[in-house]
Amino acid sequence: MSIFRRRGSSQQQQEQDQPEVQSESKVNELKAGLGPLSGRSLLYCTDACLRRYLEARNWNVEKAKKMLEETLAWRSTYKPEEIRWHEVAAEGETGKLFRANFRDRFGRTVLILKPGLQNTKSMDNQIRHLVYLMENAMLNLPEGQEEMAWLIDFTGWSFTTNVPIRTAKDTINILQDHYPQRLAVAFLYTPPRIFEAFWKIVKFFIDPKTSQKVKFVYPKNKESVELMRSYFDVDNLPTEFGGKATMKYDHEDFSRLMAQDDVKAAKFWGFDQKVASATTGYAAGAAVAPEPV
């Protein structure tokens, strides 16, 4: 009996190892297809990064290669890692988007979005601000963690504070095309009914895998509240999301935190001197970006 048990155990272990071996093989194939990389492209294209692009394209190496090459081209022109907090700080003055001071139950970085606090008109700057915070969230992911969680509070939201469909589409394209497999879950807390019409249009542009990660949460819906609490400790969760914690966004404190992160990001990407000279003139509202994997 013990012989059969050992054989069964061995076979089971082989079956468990097989996907990992295949995954490693695909990563190596993609790496070879990309050819020699240097500079920031080399820093960006870690094995974990290649896996994310492969997962986003159902492990099709050619499609993942095309997607990744498009990201590298975008990063070389948009330069998201070079965005500094003082360049986008005005966008964050109301606390419409910031990194939370707590993580979810899985150790993920949490971004809090409050679209009702929209305070600017420039769509380009709004997207730049979001990209900066995405990079910052990645910098602050714990080792071994690839994804982040979003909490979206709709207090004060209306069509007057809503972004145009075209901007929403551009934003979604950037997030899907250049930050694949970065979103674990997005909780839309108490969205107004009029948002549903907007969502039906926006959902058309979202990959089905991604749209499944978007959860509508209503305080009177026990099932959705329980789902949210399976991701968050209520003692950490702010009251506006049904938790017990009191949270007040302090722009100056957050700016100081971002300024420290900008130094970390510059060190990672290898342009410390540039940031060192730029930070000398920072006002109290200046801040910093994080280190992507």
Same-domain check for residues 181 and 215: yes
Same-domain check for residues 127 and 241: yes
Question: Within a domain: residue 265?
Answer: yes
Question: Within a domain: residue 220?
Answer: yes
Cα(227)–Cα(229) distance, integer angstroms: 5
Nearest to 173 by CA among 198, 95, 165: 165
* Residue 160 or residue 252, greater confidence: 252
What's the whole-model pTM score? 0.85
Cα(15)–Cα(12) distance, integer angstroms: 5
pLDDT in tens, 55-114: 999 999 999 999 999 999 999 999 999 999 999 999 999 999 999 999 999 999 999 999
Mean pLDDT (the chain, rounded):
87
List of residues 6+ apart from 73 with CB closer than 8 A: none
Question: Within a domain: residue 288?
Answer: no
Same-domain check for residues 89 and 68: no
| Domain stops at, among 50, 78, 106 | 78
Q: Residue 85: give the domain boundaries.
A: 81-279
Identify the pLDDT of residue 3.
Answer: 39
Cα(27)–Cα(273) distance, integer angstroms: 34
Task: Please report, for the domain that includes residue 198, its CATH number.
Answer: 3.40.525.10
pLDDT in tens, 101-153: 999 999 999 999 999 999 999 999 999 999 999 999 999 999 999 999 999 99
Same-domain check for residues 259 and 116: yes
Same-domain check for residues 172 and 275: yes
| Domain stops at, among 13, 43, 78 | 78
Question: Within a domain: residue 267?
Answer: yes
pLDDT band at residue 157, thresholds of 50, 70 and 90? confident
Looking at 164-168, 256-260, 284-288, which range is the least confident one? 284-288
pLDDT in tens, 222-256: 999 999 999 999 999 999 999 999 999 999 999 99
Same-domain check for residues 117 and 54: no
Question: Within a domain: residue 284?
Answer: no
Same-domain check for residues 144 and 189: yes
Same-domain check for residues 38 and 121: no
The HSE-up count of residue 189 (CA atoms within 13 Å, CB side) is 24
The runs of H, that is alpha helices, within the chain are 2-34, 39-44, 47-56, 61-78, 85-88, 123-139, 165-178, 193-202, 208-211, 222-231, 251-269, 272-279
Cα(113)–Cα(90) distance, integer angstroms: 16
Question: Within a domain: residue 287?
Answer: no
| Domain stops at, among 18, 48, 78 | 78
Identify the pLDDT of residue 1.
Answer: 41
Question: Within a domain: residue 56?
Answer: yes
Calculate ∠ Cα 188-154-88, nearest 5°. 100
Same-domain check for residues 87 and 36: no
Same-domain check for residues 44 and 182: no
Report long-range pairs for 27-33 (Cβ below 8 Å, ≥24 apart).
27/51, 27/54, 29/61, 30/54, 30/61, 30/64, 30/65, 30/68, 33/61, 33/62, 33/65
Cα(25)–Cα(19) distance, integer angstroms: 10
Task: Please report, for the domain that includes residue 31, its CATH number.
Answer: 1.10.8
Identify the pLDDT of residue 281.
Answer: 41
Q: Angle formed by the axes of helices 165-178 and 193-202, to 10°?
A: 60
Which DSSP helix (H) or strand (E) runs through 184?
Answer: strand 183-189
Question: Within a domain: residue 51?
Answer: yes
Q: Which amino acid is at 281?
A: G
Identify the pLDDT of residue 164.
Answer: 73
Q: Which amino acid is at 238?
A: P
Longest dimension (CA), the chain: 75
Average pLDDT for 267-282: 61
Identify the pLDDT of residue 274.
Answer: 52
Q: Which amino acid is at 28?
A: N
C-alpha distance across the termini of the chain, in Å: 47
Looking at the structure of the chain, the number of domains it has is 2
Quick check: 110 and 103 in contact, CB under 8 A? yes
